[in-house]
Amino acid sequence: MHVSLDGHAHLKPTRALAAHSAPDTTRLLPPCRSAGVYVGISQLEYARITLHQAIPVSAYFATGAHLSVASGRISYTWGLRGPAASVDTACSSSLVTTHLAAVALKQGEVEMAAAGGVNLQLLSSWSMACNRAGMLALDGRCKTLDAAADGYVRAEAAGFMLLLPAHVATSAGQADLINSCALLAGSAVNQDGRSSSLTAPNGPSQQAVIRAALAAGGLSADAVGLLEMHGTGTPLGAWHGLFDKSFSY
């Protein structure tokens, strides 16, 4: 990534992980005029660590800490001149980056895009806060759709995928892409709006976004063969998950 030793001291690990993960996707990019980069990322934990450790603040602190640089560094490293956006919508960040990339493709804003997300747990304070809010499972196991559900489990990961028009993916000379292709028929994003609390789900809003995604893909509910849910592992989340999906279909 052509980063100096001093720069590495201030480079947030999630940015480094994103920059190292994205090349697996960007190396497949055919020559193009405009390629976008959309990264789902949250938290400024490493910036807090560097401020409390014996790491002198340098010019690299600003670029190493800001969320915006997570996507910007990938575009800079690989010479990609399309939009570069870092997105924080909590649990849905990576899904939202995929939606933004798909919309940009449909509008002709980019010829192709890398979309994904990265998450690391560097400080215990955030897990402690989630636990006090009743979000985390006491035994460290997520029991989605189970009567014993009492919360979810935090995890670390980094993953990216390449989005491009179907005719490009299936064109001659793109065998690597064809072997790993999936068709994104439609996507949608909304917000719960007013609900019983800030973090509580809103049934009608979640039903609406499912219907909007189906409509965007020109599909009916009968076309759905597999459903992957956001498993919060809480009684309220599981109830809403099943109720909202059943009413949407």
Category of 73 on φ-ψ map: left (φ > 0), alpha (ψ -120 to 50) or beta: alpha
Q: Are 50 and 150 in contact (CB under 8 A)?
A: no
Ordered per-residue pLDDT tens for the chain, 249 residues? 455 544 445 455 655 566 666 655 555 555 667 899 999 998 877 777 777 777 777 777 777 778 898 899 899 888 889 999 999 999 899 999 999 999 999 999 999 999 999 998 888 888 999 999 888 999 999 888 888 888 889 989 899 998 988 887 776 555 566 666 788 999 999 999 998 888 778 888 988 999 999 999 999 988 998 888 877 777 766 655 555 555 555
Which of 210, 217, 219 has the alpha carbon at shortest distance from 245? Answer: 210
Hey, which residues does 161 pair with through a beta bridge? 115
Its pTM stands at: 0.82
Which domains does the chain possess? 5-120+156-183 (3.40.47.10)
Task: Tell me the C-alpha distance between 202 and 52, whole Å.
Answer: 39
